[in-house]
Structure 1
Amino acid sequence: MRGATSAKWVVGAVIVAMAATACGGGDDSKDSAGKGGGTFRLGITEPTAIDPYNAQESEGALVAHNLFTGLYSATPDGKLKPELAEAVQTSDDGKTWTFKIKSGTKFSNGEVVDAEAFIRGWTRVVAKESASDVAYPFDGINGYKELNGGTATPFAGLSAPDANTLKVELSAADFEFDKKTVHQAFSPVPKAAGPASNKAYNDAPIGNGPFKMEGSWQHNKSITLVRNDDYGFEKAKLDKVEISILNAANGATLEYQGFQSGQFDWARMPTPQQSVAKAKYEPKKQWVEADTSGINYLVAFNETAPLNNPDARKAISYAIDRDAIAKGVFQGLQKPATSILPPSFADTYQDGVCTSCVKQDKDKAKEYAAKGGLKPGTVLDFGYNTGGGHEEWVQAVAQQLKDVLGLEVKLNGKPFKEALAQQQTKGTSGLWRSAWGADYPTPDNFLFPLLDSGSINPDESGKALGDNRGRYNNPKFDELITQARGTKDPAARAKLYQEAEKLAVDTEQAVIPLWKRTQYRLAATDKFTNVKMDFFEDPNLAEIAAK
């Protein structure tokens, strides 16, 4: 979901905290149309935004995906699913995409969803005054730089030949552009949205999705969604979704306890409790487990000392014993990662592409540290978001870096929203715990936002508005991504993505992969049916029904 995400920055193993007072579960009520009723309850931390112009981390994306429906969505296994795109044409050169939009659908305020609604929404994201952290997926559309830079008002590459036809002109070939539109930033918006500075709309977005807002976002308290009975597709079964916004400072255990008490119908767990929870809830069929399209890794800040050279970054990677932490801290419920691309992308997955990730090697760690200037006693800042169940493994990694390399590791825990802001600041140094869940089903969704120089996207102060928080910058890597996008043959395109990953993740160790992304949740299947984890690692709210 990130990021700062377009990117969707994933909060991690769990999030949560203070108890809400409402009791959990749904009821057996049925409305007059025969749709299942009930209220589904869960907890998140305070999002950055729920308006698609800047919804970025997993929390905000969860809300935006349920308020809005775009051209396409993704199935849990990463297949592209048409939504408002009834048909699509792609030019032979991969630079012109024409989408035929389903007619007759409306926003929840009655406004028609047409091609202009998409142009309005996409323009709103990219406009300079929006200062959006999720503008980067639009980078390949003609006029992006002018609109984002404030020298133009219309989005030159977008047009509507007729009410239900959206034409997109790209500045360079991209044969996977349709997959990018799964991202929530590509949502249509009504005229009522106004500019991104419209706070009333920011807090109560009017969308065209299976749910709509009930009232406004009560910051740091709650967000309530109700079924949108005017939805242009199959209606949601639930009457309501109550989202409690929880204190992220020290909360993993409380979400787990909230599920146990019936307060929540969906829960993430603190890392030390996962094996206990599995033993208790799997026999009850309330355990949800999925290998998702995501990765857990360390951001290494490439521009500033002490990690401003590949040797220093490789020393860090070689010093980490991923197997020991996976077996000890994670109790065997996480698996070490040796790539930045997840196994779910079978055509491009390269097991072991990160040489330094395969096995801890203390001798090589010390060798690269000597070459990279990481002397014993070097101060290394290590940031992570609190309340996400990360404390145990972060401390384990810090201890290994001290034991193997003699580094003075300073742990820097911050609430998730503050953590993302700190990563953006120019001059940030050291390491930062991070995770990435796919926003759209293509390797480009990992390689471009996390590693391409176009995803640094700094503003006048040097703040990185994109998701390349480590500020890795290699023109050869950027060119490989451009070549891959412009390659029509899928097999040849996959090879280019693999070459790019090898360069960034192995040769230059721009980021440090840690664990594959197996996700675990608890679900109140005694009260609800068809509760599953979707492509974005969230509950499939639009398909859940009360028993």
Structure 2
Amino acid sequence: MRGAKSAKWVVGAVIVALAATACGGDNKDDKPTGAGKAGGTFSLGLVEPVSIDPVNAQESEGILVTDNLFTGLYEPTADGKVIPALATSKTVSDDGKTWTFKIKPGTKFTNGEIVNAEAFIRGWTRLAAKASASDVATPNVGGIDGFEALQKGTATTFSGLTAPDENTLQVKLTTPDFEFDVKTTHTSMSPVPKVAGAGKNQAYNDAPIGNGPFKMSGKWEHNKSITLVRNDDYGLTKAHLDTVKISILNSANAAQLEYQGFQSGQFDWARMPTAQLTSAKAKYTAQNEWIQADTSGMNYLLPITENGPLKTAKARQAISYAIDRDAIIAGVFQGMQTKSTTILPPSFKDVYQKDLCVSCIKQDKDKAKSLAAEAGLKPGDELHIGFNTGGGHEEWVQAVVQQIKDVLGLNVKMDAKPFKELLAAQQAPGATGAYRFAWGADYPTPDNFLFPLLDSKSINKDASGKVQGDNRGRYNNPAFDALVEKARSTKDSAARNEVYKQAEKLAMDDQALIPLWNRTQFRLVNTKKFTGGAMDFHEDPNLAEISAK
């Protein structure tokens, strides 16, 4: 999940305890269960999503909406466990290539249509179809037999998906994957009703009909608002809130507007501008409205490895050595972030390899200059660094740019764009330089970082050369790809983790990504009017668990 958000597993030091994502279960009453009472309107602001339809849901803003409109087979709890949602059981063959899921009978979409195995087949087929041009298809359904034919447009059905009966879904993979069940937690793996049609179905894209704890009220008013209301016919534990009002903030100062909106009472949830973190923490901790958590997200510079000034590993290492992460954390972040020296987050404790990124440990100006010279990077050479507006990134990007200028003498060009435009620029043929990049785990496994961000299959260019996968840096190393495939094929989890560690080291030796800092997130939540508010696995508010006081 791309960060703004995304996406997507909260493990670590938490100032306000995080509530686990609601578990599946029967609730035959019309009223919500659990603490709190039904009713209330919860308001928040965010920047314009890329998509609120599961066919292309990919960053925090879109995932926030889609996760609440849809429910799949499994879901992640706030602390990174995977629990059943609509799945009642799962089995996997000894060779890791056939998965069978039993689905809870009797649940419905909000239009009354039954959610069954065919609804999942419909959703996953739609995700893989060429016409959908989904950015999130490959890491999630790319391993299912028949995916390539759908991507090429030579098939309209998914040969690897069958429904032996109404509530049984069988999945056949082209290669073994003993973690496939974990991938089904991604919201793109949701079932969809018949009306969803093809991926490019604007009416459905703007007003998705789902089976989750909330449903749309009207349609997505682009660049203005999205409104959700409780789904009183939800087949699992019902939400408490009547309404969720989302204001879309189209501003380079979106975080500032969220913070101001919280202070004025307009919003009940907010991010904060980086410059306000210290004062906000002091004020709102005392009021029990401050949330702080180390999450399974990571912040990087994304170097374009296919062409341009950062094509070689030595050039990328030179940039990394030129950055003084400690100074930026102390100055810009006021000590409220921690330095990253890995690709995988510290919360993945079984695979974490501290200081794997040697160039990240400490700024080394001499080493940076030496490597730059070997790579042919000369003072005055141009380097493009792109970042998204509205997320509070301006200060630290400026600091990184100035350090690179000071150490290497490069002519660094900052390019600020709205988030959707930044993603498009990363994908565009001929992209060059580096980009601000963040990744939050969509599901709790190293595969969710290593495959989408670095496997060559996740480049997935279309005919124009546009990158459709998440490997926006175009990193391509067959030895790395082989290790990821080997890990997926390894049944024993401890042995599998050892292979993941080998893959991460190989990519780190190539400086395929430039780690900056681990992801600590800060939020404000209105505890005067609401109870149960916390960050979910995706760093979003846990809307289905919040209730009015």
Q: Is the TM value for this pair above 0.5?
A: yes
**What amino acid does structure 1 have at the position aligned with 2:114?**
V
Partner of 1:257: 260
Partner of 1:446: 449
Instruction: Give 3-state SS (helix, strand or coil) of 1:88's partner.
Output: strand
- Contact persistence 2:8–2:537 (CA under 8 A): no
Instruction: Give 3-state SS (helix, strand or coil) of 1:450's partner.
Output: helix
2:481 paired with 1:478? yes
- TM, length-normalised to structure 1: 0.94
- Contact persistence 1:3–1:467 (CA under 8 A): no
CA deviations over 1:206-248 (Å, ceiling 9, x no partner): 0000000000010100000000000001100000000001113
Partner of 2:90: 88
- Rounded Cα–Cα distance in structure 1 between residues aligned with 2:379 and 2:461: 33
Partner of 1:142: 145
- Contact persistence 1:299–1:434 (CA under 8 A): yes
- Contact persistence 1:248–1:416 (CA under 8 A): no
- Rounded Cα–Cα distance in structure 1 between residues aligned with 2:215 and 2:253: 31
Instruction: Give 3-state SS (helix, strand or coil) of 1:8's partner.
Output: coil
2:289 paired with 1:286? yes
Partner of 1:371: 374
How far did residue 32 of structure 1 move?
8.1
Instruction: Give 3-state SS (helix, strand or coil) of 2:429's partner.
Output: coil
- Contact persistence 1:4–1:466 (CA under 8 A): no
Give the gaps of 5 or more residues in structure 1.
11-30
- Contact persistence 2:3–2:437 (CA under 8 A): no
- Contact persistence 1:3–1:56 (CA under 8 A): no
CA deviations over 1:404-435 (Å, ceiling 9, x no partner): 11111110000001000000011111110010
Partner of 1:106: 108
- Rounded Cα–Cα distance in structure 1 between residues aligned with 2:227 and 2:65: 10
- Contact persistence 2:3–2:59 (CA under 8 A): yes
- Contact persistence 2:97–2:175 (CA under 8 A): yes
Instruction: Give 3-state SS (helix, strand or coil) of 1:59's partner.
Output: helix
Instruction: Give 3-state SS (helix, strand or coil) of 1:282's partner.
Output: helix
Deviates more, 1:190-199 or 1:399-408: 190-199
- Aligned length, in residue pairs: 525
Instruction: Give 3-state SS (helix, strand or coil) of 2:164's partner.
Output: strand
Which of 425, 443, 467 matches 2:470? Answer: 467
Change over 3 Å in CA distance of 1:4–1:85 after alignment to 2 = farther
- Rounded Cα–Cα distance in structure 2 between residues aligned with 1:498 and 1:151: 37
- Rounded Cα–Cα distance in structure 1 between residues aligned with 2:121 and 2:48: 29
List aligned pairs for 1:4-83, cutoff 5 A.
8=7, 33=31, 35-83=37-85
- Contact persistence 1:9–1:434 (CA under 8 A): no
- Contact persistence 2:58–2:136 (CA under 8 A): yes
Which of 135, 153, 157 matches 1:154? Answer: 157
Partner of 1:426: 429
CA deviations over 1:40-73 (Å, ceiling 9, x no partner): 0001111111010011111111100000000000
Instruction: Give 3-state SS (helix, strand or coil) of 2:490's partner.
Output: coil
Partner of 1:512: 514
Which of 380, 397, 401 matches 2:400? Answer: 397
- Rounded Cα–Cα distance in structure 1 between residues aligned with 2:136 and 2:283: 40
Change over 3 Å in CA distance of 1:113–1:457 after alignment to 2 = same
Partner of 2:26: none
- Contact persistence 1:4–1:133 (CA under 8 A): no
Which of 212, 215, 218 matches 2:218? Answer: 215
Instruction: Give 3-state SS (helix, strand or coil) of 1:298's partner.
Output: strand
List aligned pairs for 1:224-373, cutoff 5 A.
224-373=227-376
Which of 179, 204, 209 matches 1:206? Answer: 209
- Rounded Cα–Cα distance in structure 2 between residues aligned with 1:92 and 1:86: 20
Instruction: Give 3-state SS (helix, strand or coil) of 2:457's partner.
Output: helix
CA deviations over 1:63-109 (Å, ceiling 9, x no partner): 00000000000011110011011000010111000000000100011
**What amino acid does structure 2 have at the position aligned with 1:379?**
E
- TM, length-normalised to structure 2: 0.94
Partner of 1:120: 122
- Rounded Cα–Cα distance in structure 2 between residues aligned with 1:301 and 1:451: 12
Partner of 1:414: 417
- Rounded Cα–Cα distance in structure 1 between residues aligned with 2:499 and 2:426: 29
- Contact persistence 2:8–2:538 (CA under 8 A): no
Instruction: Give 3-state SS (helix, strand or coil) of 2:449's partner.
Output: helix
Structure 1: 4+ residue segments shifted above 2 A: 1-5, 7-10, 31-35, 248-252
- Contact persistence 1:220–1:245 (CA under 8 A): yes
Instruction: Give 3-state SS (helix, strand or coil) of 2:286's partner.
Output: coil
- Rounded Cα–Cα distance in structure 1 between residues aligned with 2:120 and 2:2: 21
Change over 3 Å in CA distance of 1:4–1:44 after alignment to 2 = closer
- Contact persistence 1:339–1:353 (CA under 8 A): yes
- Rounded Cα–Cα distance in structure 1 between residues aligned with 2:128 and 2:238: 31
Partner of 2:2: 2
How far did residue 250 of structure 1 move?
2.7
- Contact persistence 1:9–1:435 (CA under 8 A): no
Change over 3 Å in CA distance of 1:533–1:3 after alignment to 2 = closer
- Rounded Cα–Cα distance in structure 2 between residues aligned with 1:231 and 1:445: 29
CA deviations over 1:123-167 (Å, ceiling 9, x no partner): 001100111111112111101111111111110100000000000
- Contact persistence 2:8–2:297 (CA under 8 A): no
- Rounded Cα–Cα distance in structure 1 between residues aligned with 2:158 and 2:249: 38
What is the RMSD of the two structures over their aligned residues, measured on CA atoms?
Answer: 1.5
Q: Percent of counterpart pairs with the same letter?
A: 68
- Rounded Cα–Cα distance in structure 2 between residues aligned with 1:9 and 1:306: 31
How far did residue 3 of structure 1 move?
7.4
- Rounded Cα–Cα distance in structure 1 between residues aligned with 2:168 and 2:30: 36
- Contact persistence 1:252–1:387 (CA under 8 A): yes
2:188 paired with 1:185? yes
- Rounded Cα–Cα distance in structure 2 between residues aligned with 1:531 and 1:476: 44
- Rounded Cα–Cα distance in structure 1 between residues aligned with 2:118 and 2:265: 44
- Rounded Cα–Cα distance in structure 2 between residues aligned with 1:169 and 1:282: 50
- Contact persistence 1:119–1:159 (CA under 8 A): yes
- Contact persistence 2:292–2:521 (CA under 8 A): yes
